[in-house]
Chains A and B, each alone.
Chain A
Amino acid sequence: MPIDMHVSISLDPDVDDQLALLRQSSRQVLDSEYPPSAVRDAASSELRYSPDFWRKISDLGWPGTLIPGASGGAGGTIIEAGVLAEEMGGALCETPFVSSSVVSAHLLISSALPSSNTILPAVAGGDTIVSFSETGATTRPDSPRVERTAPGYVVDGTAPFVPFAHVSDELLIAGKGPEGEDVLLRADPQDRRISVTLHDTIDWSPLCHLKFDKLELPEVSRLAGGQEASSSIAKALELGAVITCMEQLGGAERCLEMANEYAMNRVQFGRPIATFQAIKHKLADMYASLALARAISYAALRASADGASSPMLTAMACVASSEAFTSVARSALQIYGGLGYTWEVDVHLYLRRAAALATLYGSVPEHLDTIGALLPDLKRKKDTPTAAASAQATQESEV
């Protein structure tokens, strides 16, 4: 039985009907073009994704969702991209959608340079795949160093986790300049000064290890610098984070459906195991964690679309969705019992993807520290007269 929690938890009350249509049509595409066997095919293929499927959804315009109409895209919102990501997440679809069509597309769109705009139509059409060495580039010691030289820049160092760099046509590099400022550069991933190695990963997602060997880039390759680069990169990472939340929700919901169906069909001691409260309550907890994560992730996505986002809300959505997906997948595997421990049953694919997605745009402890750093100020602002009061609502009602 499909759970369809998005029916009871509204993503955007203003446009729910249009979103429902988008969801329905994208689900149809995924059901017919991306069955569970496609997940395994992609995982065992050399490129670890399906260029054919990417072509199909490109023909449908999915990669152009966020790109303005004037640049060949659909001029849509991050909410629409979110619906697609949720559905693709449910199918465990591995595509460059998040890295190319959302994160990199945002960096290109927000750049004032004409050269960025000229490649957007090809990005919208899926013909050009853009990757972004984005792994926390604004803060981490492992991001590449960028040196200013008289004619341009020199990039040296490594970017250890870049999705889809092995098939990308364009590479965007966020690095730290000599003064510690953010710089956003555009490079040709085929440059012999860049080595790209595809990692072996827990869920076979195509993360690449990039090594820059004194890569020299001309002045024109600079898309943004300083504050402009910082805010553009921060927004791109925020979009990547909230879109990843949507993938996680989709994955968790599908995984919960599978576990629920299995528990209804699996008979032991003469009755379906779903009728034992130990299983029934486990399923209820899975549903609860998903509903809570969905509520806050939808809020974060709406805020992101309205320009009302906050690092706090994004971080909260990331933790809630990451933990919902990982915990739902673990519980589903437990409900499947011995079968869940086999290669043939798909549960482990969800378990693996959940583990991978939970690290992509910051780990849970990092998000918790972001929240921890912001919470005291927020709480001071909202001080209310009842602060000393402990809640007591149920105390008043009859037991």
Chain B
Amino acid sequence: MSEELHQSGIRLSEADIAFQKQWREWLDRTLPPEWGGSTPQEWHDNADRAEVGRAWRRKLCEETWAAIAWPRERGGREATVLQQVIFKAELILRGVPHPFIRIATNEDNGGRAATAVMEYGTPDQQESFIPRILSGEITFCQGFSEPDAGSDLAGLKTRAALDGDWFTVNGQKIWTGDAHLADWMYMLVRTDLDAPKHRGISYLLVEMNSDGVEVRGIRDITGGQRVNEVFFDDVRVPRTNLVGEINQGWAIARSTLQVERSGLFNTNLLDNMLGSVVRLAEKTVRPDGRTAWQDDEFRRKIARQAIIVNCVKQLGYTILVQQMRERPLGAEPSVGKLAGSELRQDLTETSLDILGRYGLLGAKDELAVNKGMAGYAYIIERGATIGGGTSEMQRNAIAEKGLGLPKD
């Protein structure tokens, strides 16, 4: 990582190195050793992951690692963009499961809610919510998408009618990750039916155990439940739970959705996936006695995939340079998302092709290779080009930001 940063023309200062050392020492002491070798499937199926996440947040919070980018008076460390990358890289290097990385980097749903409250909330809201979120006492889910508002999110219809000191919320959210585990939801609601669609949206905090909130699980493509539908039937929400001004919700959502845009995090996962595919090709012996790796077609295909991994990685570093210079980002983050997500699918397809019939076997089968990861990854990765903005939306963004083409 340091070497790659150096190659990108990025130099670590003494403060950066001291920061890295302190963080490494804390992780040496604190990180649960069993996090290293676990598979995503094991974590998805783990019923305790919400509790484990809370405990992790609490530990981070106790030594001010829970929101490192924040001002010191809010419990942060005023970490620079580069230090945030160093921080995250260390977690990736140690094999921390993805949901817990998101918690540490304050990019989980709790972190987003806390950021919104910090930037737009009233002093009362800040005092009430921020300490409880950072310490893991309360968790959040995100209520944005609706059945008729996906890529066109601003077309959302869930209505919040204000009467005196109370909103009454009616409508439905969908694809809500971990709604069945969360204590609260931050949500976008329509508060002005007549305004242009982006200007009639507000940002509300709603307790999940409120009367009239119903969560129904959606079985996803893997058969597991991670996302939900959430129904709102005359749910009463105090006006004091409105974040920011009324009808200002779109701007708040946009600013809190700015997760790490460099995509460097993702490229480490790509690197690992690529490594798995190379090893799989090397050890898979085909009927003619040669390994898949000795097959020109497979080897060149994987070499191409290696190129894209490195292109996306280098692009990530150039985005980081832009962020460090506090310059606006153009189309490059969308290029990284588009290329990275399509590559992930390609890599899973290659694994399946290499394995042939063995790729069909589930985790517990005695003939399964790598705990059946190839088949599982092939299925789960279909989401890569849909979640977080579909590939089609990325192409629109690239054309509009990079080439100045008109919006649809």
Contacts and interface: CB of A to CB of B under 8 A. Distances in A.
A272 B406 CA distance: 10
Contacts of B310: 296, 299, 313, 316
A26 B296 CA distance: 43
A298 B9 CA distance: 11
16 contacts: A3-B403, A264-B405, A275-B408, A292-B339, A302-B9, A368-B300, A371-B307, A372-B300, A376-B278, A376-B282, A379-B279, A388-B276, A391-B270, A391-B272, A396-B102, A399-B387
Given A293-B311, A320-B307, A398-B145, A277 B408 contact: yes
Given A264-B405, A280-B399, 5 more contacts: A299-B317, A390-B40, A390-B381, A392-B269, A396-B98
A375 B303 contact: yes
Interface of A: 1, 3, 5, 8-10, 12-14, 256, 260, 263-264, 272, 274-275, 277, 280-281, 283-285, 287-288, 291-293, 295-296, 298-299, 302-303, 306, 308, 313, 316, 319-320, 365, 368-369, 371-372, 375-376, 379, 382-399
For the residues of B in contact with A, the DSSP-based class is helix
Contacts of B329: 8
A284 B307 contact: no
Given A8-B329, A319-B307, A386-B95, A295 B403 contact: no
Contacts of A369: 299-300, 303
B396 interface: yes
A284 B395 contact: yes
Given A8-B332, A281-B395, A386-B95, A398 B175 contact: yes
Interface in B208-245: 226-227
B227 A390 contact: no
Given A292-B312, A389-B39, A390-B348, A287 B335 contact: yes
A399 B380 contact: no
A287 B398 contact: yes
Interface residues of B, number: 92
A96 to B, nearest CB: 30
Contacts, number: 240
Interface in B305-349: 306-308, 310-312, 314-315, 317-318, 321-322, 327, 329-332, 335, 338-339, 341, 344, 348
Given A8-B332, A392-B380, A285 B315 contact: no
B71 interface: no
B265 interface: yes
A375 B306 contact: yes
Given A8-B330, A368-B300, A391 B405 contact: no
A150 B252 CA distance: 82
A398 B306 contact: no
A77 to B, nearest CB: 13
B119 interface: no
A50 to B, nearest CB: 32
A387 B341 contact: no
Contacts of A288: 335, 338-339, 395, 398
A379 B275 contact: yes
Contact of A398 (B227, B274, B304): B227
A82 B399 CA distance: 27
B302 A284 contact: no
A390 B371 CA distance: 12
Nearest to B93: A384
B356 interface: no
B266 interface: yes
Nearest to A393: B266
A306 B6 CA distance: 10
Interface in B250-305: 265-266, 269-276, 278-279, 282, 293, 299-300, 302-304
A390 B268 CA distance: 11
Contacts of B386: 394, 399
Contacts of A283: 399, 403, 405
B40 A12 contact: no
Given A284-B398, A316-B307, A395-B387, A387 B276 contact: yes
Given A295-B314, A298-B314, A390 B380 contact: yes
A100 to B, nearest CB: 29
A280 B275 contact: no
A260 B275 contact: no
A9 B377 CA distance: 32
Contacts of A368: 299-300, 303-304
A254 B176 CA distance: 44
Contact of B315 (A291, A372, A383): A291
B318 A10 contact: yes
B275 A292 contact: no
Contacts of A391: 266, 269-270, 272-273, 344, 381, 384
Given A3-B402, A280-B405, A284-B403, A299 B332 contact: no
B208 to A, nearest CB: 16
B404 A382 contact: no
Nearest to A395: B383
Contacts of A256: 403
A387 B40 CA distance: 11
A287 B322 CA distance: 18
A9 B315 contact: yes
B56 to A, nearest CB: 15
A385 B36 contact: yes
A254 B408 CA distance: 25
Contacts of A386: 36-37, 92, 95, 269, 272
B269 A398 contact: no
Contact of A399 (B39, B227, B282, B370): B227
A274 B404 CA distance: 10
Q: Which 6 A-B pairs have the closest CB atoms?
A: A385-B95, A394-B387, A391-B269, A390-B377, A292-B311, A295-B314
Contact of A384 (B95, B293, B315): B95
A397 B177 contact: yes
Nearest to B395: A284
B7 interface: yes
